[in-house]
Amino acid sequence: MSNQKQQKPTLSGQHSKTRKRDEKERFGPTQFQDCIIQSLTETGTDLEAVAKFLDPSGAKLDYCRYTETLFDILVAGGMLAPGGTLADDMMHTDVCVFTAQEDLETMQAFAQVFNKLIRRYKYLEKGFEDEVKKLLLFLKGFSVSERNKLAMLTGVLLANGTLNASILNSLYNENLVKEGVSAAFAVKLFKSWVNEKDINAVASSLRKVSMDNRLMELFPANKQSVERFTKYFTEAGLKEFSQYVRNQQTMGTHKELQKELQEQMSRGDPFKDIILYVKEEMKKNIPEPVVIRIVWSSAMSTVEWNKKEELVAEQAIKHLKQYSPLLAAFTTQAEVLSEESILKWYKDTHVAKGKSVFLEQMKNFVEWLKNAEEESACEAEEGD
């Protein structure tokens, strides 16, 4: 029986089915790079042609495996060595961001190339963010012109949502900050970003990644001042952005003061110590009316208000008597509350708890304020 054993028959012309993934894997990194660079060079500076080449090529070239290579080429014209220099032993192309014209219109056109590519191949999104973070760390290795182009491009991509503002964390690299590279890059980037959107959109994006209060850190520690920041960005044509940062710093200072005051009051610290602390903080250009508002808010937050409305007024008077020495220490030269503030509070900014009691007690006073305001307006008109 064993002598009669025959080999199993095979079908002539049999072949194994090659999957697309297997076809892609035949390309090594050098082959991938050469193919991309050669094709880009053939398209010339026509960025629409570049986009048309890149779109279908992902089906046969392994973009997923060679994401970093692909974006290195599109930005710098070839593979980047550590530090940001082009690898000498590799092919290069002039069809890239770094060799393009240094103007916003050109960078907007390149942004469209990246947008189309990432929309077509969604898996490239994370790789592209990693690429930009790396490029920002390599800034010192690029020329000033290359940095400017990258800054404008990044600003446009942040504006249209292709990139997340968290990539800007790379700019806080100690060496980049120390040598002024981060600040110079940020000026070009924010100018491009604000041009595409507006300051409110930029502020919203920064706030989402908790960077709205870190912008001063773009300068070395010994140069971090609101005045220096404002001057630097205003002279670069970003006055509105400078004002936004100034406002953020002011709000941050006020919040820190209020938080510390609330803690001191909760601990029951002596008023003399609290007064010394606040007066020291006022040297940071915090005006007296603002201090009064912060002291008032801090004092009001330290008490649990009675749920019975008829007892709230008595409780408030007792509480204010306790903190009157503290309030008196900072009411030396300004109105505690303006007419506008009182009327606004009466109309729509009061808290719900105990409101009926306070509003009823304030009714006559508010009416007097309104009448006095109308009389003043009439007198002014007669005087004209």
What DSSP assignment string belongs to 251-270? HHHHHHHHHHHHHHHHHT--
Do 93 and 163 lie in a common domain? yes
Q: Cβ distance 312 to 358 under 8 Å?
A: yes
Do 196 and 97 lie in a common domain? yes
Percent of the chain with pLDDT over 90: 46
Please say if the pLDDT value at position 215 is more than 70. yes
Please say if the pLDDT value at position 169 is more than 90. yes
Please say if the pLDDT value at position 375 is more than 70. no
Least reliable range by pLDDT among 155-169, 173-187, 315-329: 315-329
Residues shown for the chain: 384
Sorting pLDDT into bands at 50, 70 and 90, what band is 276?
A: very high
Do 262 and 215 lie in a common domain? no
Q: Look at residues 175, 199, 224 and tell me which one is the last residue of a structural domain.
A: 224
Q: Count Cβ atoms below 10 Å from residue 15 Cβ, excluding itself.
A: 6
Asked whether residue 83 is domain-assigned, the answer is yes
Do 173 and 33 lie in a common domain? yes
Do 215 and 291 lie in a common domain? no
Q: Which two tokens stand for residue 63?
A: 């973009």
Q: Which two tokens stand for residue 5?
A: 């054993």
Give alpha helix (H) positions in 44-180: 47-57, 67-76, 104-120, 124-137, 144-159, 174-178
Sorting pLDDT into bands at 50, 70 and 90, what band is 352?
A: low
Sorting pLDDT into bands at 50, 70 and 90, what band is 212?
A: confident
Q: Which two tokens stand for residue 19?
A: 């999957």
Q: Look at residues 181, 204, 224 and tell me which one is the last residue of a structural domain.
A: 224
Do 211 and 285 lie in a common domain? no
Angle at 182 between CA 180 and CA 187, to 5 degrees: 100
Tens of pLDDT, residues 137-147: 999 999 999 99
Residue 351 has what pLDDT? Answer: 53
Please say if the pLDDT value at position 4 is more than 70. no
Do 217 and 263 lie in a common domain? no
State phi, psi for 80 to the nearest 5 degrees.
-95, 130
Sorting pLDDT into bands at 50, 70 and 90, what band is 383?
A: low
* Alpha-carbon span 167 to 270, nearest angstrom: 46
Asked whether residue 104 is domain-assigned, the answer is yes
Please say if the pLDDT value at position 7 is more than 60. no
* Alpha-carbon span 266 to 79, nearest angstrom: 60
Domains: count for the chain: 2
Please say if the pLDDT value at position 13 is more than 80. no
Least reliable range by pLDDT among 295-299, 321-325, 334-338: 334-338
Q: Look at residues 201, 224, 247 and tell me which one is the last residue of a structural domain.
A: 224
* Alpha-carbon span 36 to 77, nearest angstrom: 10
Q: What is the mean pLDDT of residues 82-99?
A: 87
Asked whether residue 16 is domain-assigned, the answer is no
* Alpha-carbon span 188 to 153, nearest angstrom: 10
Asked whether residue 232 is domain-assigned, the answer is no
Q: What is the mean pLDDT of residues 195-205?
A: 92
Task: Return the amino acid letter for 144.
Answer: V
State phi, psi for 156 to the nearest 5 degrees.
-65, -40
Asked whether residue 239 is domain-assigned, the answer is no
Do 206 and 289 lie in a common domain? no
What's the longest Cα–Cα distance across the chain?
129
Do 217 and 130 lie in a common domain? yes
Asked whether residue 243 is domain-assigned, the answer is no
What ranges make up the beta strands (E) of the chain?
none
Residue 105 has what pLDDT? Answer: 96
324, with CB counted inside 10 A (0-12, 13-18, 19+), is exposed
Do 53 and 169 lie in a common domain? yes
Please say if the pLDDT value at position 231 is more than 70. yes
Helices 226-235 + 181-196 axis angle, to 10: 60
Do 53 and 183 lie in a common domain? yes
Do 99 and 211 lie in a common domain? yes
Please say if the pLDDT value at position 365 is more than 90. no
- Most confidently predicted of 12-26, 53-67, 142-156, 260-274: 142-156
Asked whether residue 58 is domain-assigned, the answer is yes
Residue 170: give the domain boundaries. 29-224
